[in-house]
């Protein structure tokens, strides 16, 4: 069987989790598969989506929920997308301005992530009583786990982000500057942009994404559905190269990060890229260091497996955020977009894969083992901030 297309263009956004694409290109892992890949740095998620749709890009790093929203035609062009590979887990955090951080300190009863959300709820209520403008919090895109994690965290403390807070979207790299200028009071964004804002003194990191949902899905490698159908061998070759890149990165992220810096893919000081991996980021009302486990998982814990239950969770959050028109039957598309079958076909012969495409979330405080095709597969902890158990079987998305 042969590669259908050798010369490929892949899109990415400057973020720590574009590293699998960058490493596969810079280390020659794509070339090992007979592929000639050009990486294209893009300025917005909207443009990544549009360039994929019109065929200017063959594949791209994609916010996981975008694969669903584009397939459903929510907020833009409708084009069926496919992902058969998750680029990793975790990587987000919430950072607030120094002023809001100080205000939260006055209201907080406990320093936990839930305590911080509760304190934020009190600030919101006080502002409303005093007739002041609502807090402005930024995420990167309406269909993003940044949006859903932020809303989920706030909802756990009884704050309805849609009603009580003004939500805006900004490019990741502009979060820090907007915080400094007082245009926003906080943001939820992927690394390195929390570390950058903290290192430059623009704000304080309040919660890691891991504290809201341990080992949550984040970016995926996405392609257009028709493209996947017409280029099965090329797709498989791309996934093999990305898989090798992810394993290499996970082995020693500190050794891999300079690729982002040197290749001018993510234009920030290397020290800031390294902060979360060195445990140097201080987090929470108590400003304690957080370990590496709070941030990117590139390969271990079956991080690249495209869990259909992750897609279920996202569909539920879309519905919860009022993004799903009643007429849209999102449940029908989950299995068409989240192609665990392709992942299984590519990697099933070489390692043990989870037996099922769906798993529950929130039941494991520690790493655990699920049934696998060739012996048990170790997965990461998966607690949710509100201690809830999420079961895809009872999800409205599958109803």
- Is 134 near other proteins (CB under 8 A)? no
Site string for other proteins, 239-278 (x = CB under 8 A): ----------------------------------------
Q: Segment contacting other proteins (CB under 8 A): 123-131, 161-169, 201-209, 386-394? A: 161-169
Tokens 């269909």 identify what position?
Answer: 143
The answer to whether residue 183 forms part of the interface with other proteins (CB under 8 A) is: yes
**Under rule CB under 8 A, residue 171 binds other proteins:** yes
Question: What 3-state class would DSSP assign to 279?
Answer: coil
User: Does position 323 bind other proteins by CB under 8 A?
Assistant: yes
Does the footprint of other proteins cover residue 140 (CB under 8 A)?
yes
Q: Is residue 155 part of the contact set for other proteins (CB under 8 A)?
A: no
Contact between 75 and other proteins (CB under 8 A)? yes
- Residue 110 Cβ vs other proteins, minimum distance, rounded to whole Å: 32
Give the span between the Cα atoms of 9 and 61, in whole angstroms: 12
Q: Output DSSP code: residue 111.
A: -
Q: What are phi and psi of 221, to 5 degrees?
A: -95, 115
Helices (H), 82-171: 98-107, 113-129, 145-156, 161-164
Residue 71 in the binding site for other proteins (CB under 8 A): no
Q: How far apart are CA 74 and CA 91, in angstroms?
A: 25
50 counts as binding other proteins under rule CB under 8 A: yes
Q: Would you count residue 386 as binding other proteins (CB under 8 A)?
A: no
Q: How far apart are CA 296 and CA 96, in angstroms?
A: 21
Instruction: Assess 45 for contact with other proteins (CB under 8 A).
Output: yes
Question: Which of these segments, 1-9, 73-81, 113-121, 190-198, binds other proteins (CB under 8 A)?
Answer: 73-81
Binding piece for other proteins, criterion CB under 8 A, among 26-34, 49-57, 91-99, 251-259 = 49-57
CB of 62 to other proteins, least distance (A): 13
- 102 counts as binding other proteins under rule CB under 8 A: no
Q: Rounded to the nearest whole angstrom, what is the least distance from the CB of residue 266 to other proteins in the complex?
A: 14
Query: Least separation, in Å, of the C-beta of 167 and other proteins?
Result: 7
**Separation of alpha carbons 358 and 362, rounded Å:** 13
Residue 34 neighbours by CB distance under 10 Å: 13
Strand partners, 97: 203
Both structure tokens of 370: 């699920």
Q: For residue 242, which of 67, 18, 15 has the smallest C-alpha distance? A: 18
**Stretch binding other proteins (CB under 8 A), from 51-59, 101-109, 277-285, 335-343:** 51-59
**What DSSP element (H or E) covers 20?**
helix 19-26
- The conformation of residue 92, written as its DSSP 8-state character, comes to E
Closest to 137 measured CA to CA, from 197, 179, 177, 172? 179
Which residue of 65, 113, 142, 354 would you call a contact of other proteins, by CB under 8 A?
142
Non-local CB neighbours of 133 within 8 Å, separated by 6+ positions: 127, 166
Contact pick of 31, 36, 38, 77 for other proteins (by CB under 8 A): 77
Q: With binding defined as CB under 8 A, does residue 47 bind other proteins?
A: yes
The CA distance from 302 to 352, in Å, is 10
Per CB under 8 A, the segment of 48-56, 236-244, 331-339, 361-369 that binds other proteins is 48-56
Q: Which of 157, 90, 162, 82 is nearest to 119 (CA)?
A: 157
C-beta of residue 95 within 8 angstroms of C-beta of residue 275: no
Figure out which of the listed residues 4, 32, 34, 73 binds other proteins, where binding follows CB under 8 A: 73
Contacts with other proteins, residue ranges (CB under 8 A): 42-47, 50-51, 53-54, 56, 73-78, 139-143, 162, 166-171, 173-174, 183, 323
């Amino acid at each position: 069987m042969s590669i259908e297309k050798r010369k490929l263009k892949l899109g990415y956004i400057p973020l720590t989790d574009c590293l699998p694409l960058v490493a596969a290109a810079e280390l020659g892992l794509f070339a090992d598969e007979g592929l000639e890949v050009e990486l294209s740095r893009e300025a917005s998620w909207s443009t990544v989506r549009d360039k994929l749709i019109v065929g200017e890009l063959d594949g791209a790093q994609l916010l996981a929920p975008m694969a669903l929203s584009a397939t459903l035609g929510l907020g833009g062009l409708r084009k069926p997308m496919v992902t058969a590979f998750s680029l990793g887990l975790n990587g987000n955090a919430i950072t607030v301005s120094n002023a809001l951080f100080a205000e939260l300190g006055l209201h907080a009863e406990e320093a936990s992530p839930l305590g911080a959300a509760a304190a934020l709820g009190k600030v919101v209520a006080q502002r409303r009583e005093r007739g002041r403008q609502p807090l402005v919090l930024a995420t990167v895109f309406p269909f993003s786990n940044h949006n859903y994690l932020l809303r989920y965290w706030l909802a756990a403390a009884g704050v309805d982000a849609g009603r009580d807070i003004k939500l805006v979207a900004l490019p990741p790299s502009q979060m820090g500057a907007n915080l400094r200028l007082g245009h926003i009071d906080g943001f939820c964004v992927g690394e390195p942009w929390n570390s950058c804002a903290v290192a430059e003194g623009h704000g304080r990191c309040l919660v890691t994404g891991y504290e809201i949902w341990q080992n949550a899905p984040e970016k995926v490698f996405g392609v257009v559905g028709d493209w996947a159908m017409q280029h099965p061998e090329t797709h498989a070759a791309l996934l093999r190269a990305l898989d090798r890149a992810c394993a290499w990165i996970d082995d020693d992220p500190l050794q891999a990060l300079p690729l982002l810096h040197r290749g001018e893919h993510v234009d920030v000081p290397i020290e800031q890229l390294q902060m979360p991996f060195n445990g140097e980021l201080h987090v929470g009302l108590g400003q304690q260091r957080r370990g590496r486990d709070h941030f990117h998982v590139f390969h271990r814990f079956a991080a690249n497996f495209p869990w259909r239950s992750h897609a279920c969770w996202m569909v539920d959050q879309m519905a919860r955020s009022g993004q799903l028109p009643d007429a849209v039957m999102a449940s029908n598309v989950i299995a068409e977009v989240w192609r665990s079958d392709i992942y299984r076909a590519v990697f099933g012969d070489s390692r043990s894969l989870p037996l099922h495409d769906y798993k529950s979330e929130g039941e494991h405080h520690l790493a655990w083992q699920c049934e696998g095709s060739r012996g048990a597969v170790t997965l990461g902890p998966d607690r949710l901030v509100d201690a809830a158990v999420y079961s895809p079987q009872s999800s409205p998305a599958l109803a």
